[in-house]
Amino acid sequence: MIPYWRLSGYYFFYFAFVGAFSPYFGLYLQSIGSSAAEIAVLMSLMSVMRTLAPTLWGWLADRFGTRAPIVRLSAVLSVLGFSGFLLSNTHGVLFVSMAFLAFFWSAALPLVETLTFAHLQGQASRYGSIRVWGSVGFVLAVLGLGYLLDEMPIRNLLWVTLGILAGILLCAMVIPEVRKARENVVMVSLGSILRRPEVRALLTACFFMSAAHGALYVFYSLHLVAHGYSKTLVGWMWTLGVLAEILVFMGMPQLLRAYSLRNLLLFSFAAAVLRFVMIGWGADSLVILVLAQLLHGATFGSYHAAAVAAVNRWFGAQHQARGQALYGSISFGAGGVVGGLISGYTWELVGAGWTYTLASVFALMGFVTLSRGWRDRFAAEIV
């Protein structure tokens, strides 16, 4: 039987943490006197560690054939790392705490994705119905904190976020390991998989997609507040994007029957090109911002679901943890680092409009890379 609620609970709290941390932690750092460059560096540490840590943990998981214990260890150490934010506001302590938190927190998701697909046992279309609870957790966190922080000191963000990490720890303790059945498997080297042009094209395009989102995750809340919007509205705008994402996750079985993974991904990249231009130059119009947030259903929802499905098919059972780790490291890790750091400097040099225009250029580069490198429309279906 699929441990539906245990997996869903983990996704719920994991992305509730994202909903509490990504939109509001930059505001907390600003409130204690951090500069835009310091905020960019600190927030980009999450992406730096997502570049390094998942590959290490994925190799260990594939090497020893176990994932759940690593997920539990990462949860314990994530709580310990975040606790450092309660001790001091000095940049050195913040830097060390963020690096420690990010190294262990980022280890877990690729392994949980691998566990989820292993429990699904070929029913990959059901992934969306489990993953959607992560989006629900994000919505409740981002919306609830939007109201809370309009009425209470922003330092309360630390205690709420620590409580969410405790929820991650609780769920990690009850996620079951997958018992592998003995079967004859044709051994395929990881190198031979990575030499396939469609695999290289996807991973490179995912790097550009995450780089495009760098300015969104680091500065979107600050961008809205600078244009006179309240923190409550900021919460609603993040919520709107995730509601669109939820609808896409719920509809993924139908989308996967109607469209190829390649076409879903190309549409997602095209939507990202449009979305970031709208955010950068249309922030004075609430209507434009709403339309841009609805595109999050494509720029993350269909994009992420199609990407992890492709990785699941291409890398097979023997390299599954490393495949998901590579996807996370190259996209959310390396791409997030580049996008976050560049946006931190362009934000002060050329302003928000041109920073988000650069994000659109990154998305366009991903679109071109994917369309030219993944030429076989049915490549993902034959693995």
Q: What is the pLDDT of residue 101?
A: 92
Asked whether the predicted pLDDT for residue 382 surpasses 80, the reply is no
Q: What is the pLDDT of residue 197?
A: 92
- State the helix-helix crossing angle for 231-258 and 261-281, rounded to 10 degrees: 160
178: DSSP letter: P
Q: What is the pLDDT of residue 122?
A: 65
- 12-71 per-position pLDDT tens digit: 999 999 889 887 888 889 888 888 778 878 887 877 787 777 778 777 777 777 788 889
More confident residue, 115 or 82: 82
158: DSSP letter: H
Q: What is the pLDDT of residue 167?
A: 95
CB proximity list for 137: less than 8 A, separation 6 or greater: 11, 12, 13, 14, 15, 16, 19
Cα 15 from Cα 317, distance rounded (Å): 26
Q: What is the pLDDT of residue 124?
A: 62
Number of Cβ within 10 Å of residue 81's Cβ equals 20
- List the one residue out of 335, 315, 339, 330 whose CA is nearest residue 55: 330
Would you state the structure tokens that stand for residue 13, as one six-digit string?
Answer: 């709290």
Q: What is the pLDDT of residue 378?
A: 44
SS (H, E, C) 26-74: HHHHHHCCCCHHHHHHHHHHHHHHHHHHHHHHHHHHHHHCCCHHHHHHH
Residue 210 CB-half CA count within 13 A: 26
Which residue intervals of 316-351 are DSSP H helices?
320-328, 336-349
- 313-370 per-position pLDDT tens digit: 888 767 777 888 888 888 877 888 889 889 988 988 999 999 999 999 999 999 999 9
pLDDT band for position 383 (50/70/90)?
Answer: very low
Asked if 106 and 71 count as a contact pair (C-beta separation under 8 A), the reply is no
pLDDT band for position 212 (50/70/90)?
Answer: very high
Which residue intervals of 185-335 are DSSP H helices?
190-194, 197-212, 214-226, 231-258, 261-281, 286-294, 296, 303-315, 320-328
